[in-house]
Amino acid sequence: MRKVMALISVCALLLISCAESTQSSFIPVDYPEWTQTTDEILNYSIPGHGSGLRKIFINGLGLEYREELDNGRMTYNFPNGTLIVKEVYSSPNPADSDEPFQLTAMYKDPGHPLQRGGWLWIVKNMSNGSETILNEEFCFTCHNNANESFPYGDGNPFQAFQDFVFYLPSRADGLTTEGGT
């Protein structure tokens, strides 16, 4: 019950916040045809997204992220224009016919005035189709944890800079990393 309440409250908060931020349009209708960042079933509870199933898609540009050492620390940097879309379902085990109740997205645009960490943090209102760039620290603060060790996936044991993405997708050139955001 507590998890459900947390899920509902977070979703409500995200939807309400749309009225306070900038309207935009980033997420194309064919995003489900993109590469999913991970095969892992993401239906465990996490702060901010609850315990509903998450499916994560990344556009082709995002698969060409750079991987390099910076003063001994591994860094991964996604190219500008990378778009990562996360479907959030209300149930941990939705039926095939179920639609996600929410879409959140990250769009790489370091020059945008609302960017945080070089990304725009976007939420789509599924009831009216509107997209909003969030002007809050909330998403960025949590995703900042992706650049140090965290308890998901491989846990980023060497504290690489993962460009605010928790699970790196497999790169287009065949180099692979377990994925998910």
Partner 1 sequence: MAARRFVPITLKVNLLIIAGMVIGIGSISFALASTLFVTIDEVSMQNMAGQADAIYAAIESLMLPGEALLAQGFFQRLNAIDAGRQVHLYRSDGYEAFQDNATISQVNEHLGTLMFPTRIPPPQVEQLDLDHSGFAQALGSEGLPRDVFLREAQGDRVFYRVLKPLINLPKCTVCHGSDHTIRGVIDIRNDITETVRLQQGAVLAASGGFFFLVVVLGLAMSRLMGRLILGPIQKIGRVCEGVTMGDFSTRVNVAQEDEIGNLAERVNTMIEGLVERFKLSKYVSGSTIRSLSQGEEGSSVPLSIVFTDIRGFTSYTEKHAPEQVVQTLNSILDLQTRIIHGEGGDIDKYVGDEVFAVFDGKESCAAALRAALAIQNALQDQGPSLDGLAVGIGLNYGQVIRGRMGSETRADFTVIGDNVNVASRLCSAAAAGEIIASLEFIKELKREGKPGAEAKLEGPFSLHVKGKSSALRAFKFRHQEGGKK
Give the residue, chosen from 40, 67, 136, 154, that forms a contact with partner 1 under the rule CB under 8 A.
136
Residues with Cβ < 8 Å from 43, sequence gap 6 or more? 51, 52, 53, 54, 92, 93
Judged by CB under 8 A, the residue of 23, 32, 41, 44 near partner 1 is 44
d(Cα 11, Cα 6) in Å, to the nearest integer?
9
**Of 36, 40, 43, 48, which one interacts with partner 1 (CB under 8 A)?**
48
Residues 6 or more apart whose Cβ sits within 8 Å of residue 38: 56, 153, 167, 169, 178, 179, 180
Judged by CB under 8 A, the stretch of 55-63, 97-105, 111-119, 137-145 that binds partner 1 is 137-145
Q: Does 150 bind partner 1 (CB under 8 A)?
A: yes
Q: If binding is defined by CB under 8 A, does position 80 make contact with partner 1?
A: no
Q: Using an 8 Å Cβ cutoff, are 132 and 122 in contact? A: yes
Contact status, residue 161 vs residue 167, Cβ threshold 8 Å: no
In the complex, the smallest distance separating the C-beta of residue 31 from partner 1, rounded to whole angstroms, is 23
Which residues make up the interface to partner 1 (CB under 8 A)?
Answer: 2-3, 6, 9-10, 13-14, 16-17, 19-20, 44-48, 134, 136-138, 141-142, 145-146, 148-152, 166
